[in-house]
Amino acid sequence: MDWRIAWPVIGLCAIVAGSSALADPIALKSKSIVLAPSKPETQTVGALSYRGGVELSSEDARFGGLSGLLVSADRAQLTSVTDTGWWFEARLIYDADGRLESLADAALTRLLSETGQPLTGKRTSDSESLARAPDGSLYVSFERHHRALRYAAPGDTAQPVQLPIQGLANIRNNGGLEAIEFLPDGRLLMLTEDHFVSDGRLAGWLVDGQRVSALTYPGNGYFKPTGLTRLATGQMLVLERGYTAIGGPKARLMIIEPPAGAGPINDLTEVARLQPPIQVDNYEGVAARTTDAGVTLLYLISDDNFNGLQRTLLLMFALKL
């Protein structure tokens, strides 16, 4: 979803990028950032402990608009999708203490349609969320033309996902399937960002093959879902974003239990709220991984809307459950 804010552009130091033969390598610039610029000693926010972060940019005009986020099981590879129909992949680099330090081997690959053609035009290419299915395939949800597509891997031809959801086509352009993730039992949870179906309740669905159960998620008109990830506990973590022209952007992270079926989602536990002086931008992607020592790591990525006054941030935290 697009919005505009006035934030300074910071000079960055370049790293050399590479990629696989199936993708187009791009030169990426990366700069390590502190959690709170005005209070550099800050290392915690809510139940999160900061484990490093970077600001990313590139002179390649295709880079930006990152929304959905996945991190590989070994925490070595990042995969995202963009608002303009590209896969973005890169290798995650950590320092000797395991803190996120930079990215390398960055590359872009076109998202393809069901006929194998590149997705072009804002209406068909506005990808917003990314989830890995139990069989390892990748599901991508889209706004404007509200739908989901399945991919065996980045660069492959799309396979349609049947979503027998009544009224899906009537959702406004930027109010659609912003957050998707698979539950531990294999059902697909989908939350809308700005489609209110009752007073203060946002639409959502559980998709199990051809069976669909309607859900509602609390929305106070400010914070709205922009990302979903599954924790090792089986619980779901929802990334929410809020923005006003006066207050600027904020974000919060909420834990919910996997919905059993149709009905309202009510029991939410706030994990953290990201607002100044904490680094903040248009956070739209979240991924969770667990280390061999049992530490839950959360990764957050922001969508710069291809706006030079916004930033692409990638932050990593340890979550205390």
* Structural domain includes residue 18: no
214-239: average pLDDT: 94
| 3-class state of residue 168 by DSSP | helix
> Considering the domain boundaries, does residue 174 fall inside one?
yes
- Binned at pLDDT 50, 70 and 90, residue 172 comes out as confident
Residue 302 falls within a domain, yes or no? yes
- 254/267 Cα distance (integer angstroms): 10
Return the closest-CA partner of residue 148 out of 109, 191, 186. 191
CATH number at residue 101: 2.115.10.20
Would you state the pLDDT for residue 298? 98
Supply the range of the domain harboring residue 104.
33-319
pLDDT of 167: 83
pLDDT at 5: 34
pLDDT at 32 over 70: yes
Task: Measure the N-to-C terminal CA separation of the chain; round to a whole number of Å.
Answer: 30
| 28 falls within a domain | no
Residue 10 covered by a domain: no
pLDDT at 4: 38
pLDDT tens per residue, range 41-50: 999 999 999 9
Question: Mean pLDDT across the stretch 257-272?
Answer: 95
Q: How far is CA 160 from CA 67, 83, 126, 138, 195, in A?
A: 20, 19, 16, 12, 23
What is the pLDDT at residue 1? 52
Domain presence at residue 141: yes
Q: In this predicted structure, what is the pLDDT of residue 164?
A: 85
> Residue 88 above 70 pLDDT?
yes
The confidence score (pLDDT) of residue 248 equals 85
Place of tokens 């930079």: 102
Mean pLDDT of the chain: 91
What whole-number percentage of the chain has pLDDT above 90? 83
Domain count, the chain: 1
What is the spatial distance between Cα 220 and Cα 266, in angstroms, rounded to a whole number?
A: 13
Note the pLDDT tens digit of each residue in 109-168: 999 999 999 999 999 999 999 999 999 999 999 999 999 999 999 999 999 999 988 888
| pLDDT score of 169 | 83
Q: In angstroms, how far apart are the furthest CA atoms of the chain?
A: 52
Q: Is residue 151 part of a domain?
A: yes
Global pTM value: 0.92
Segment 245-253 shows an average pLDDT of 90
Kindly report, residue by residue over 285-310, the tens digit of the pLDDT: 999 999 999 999 999 999 999 999 99
The token pair that represents 191 in the structure block: 């939350």
The answer to the question of residue 15 being in a domain is: no
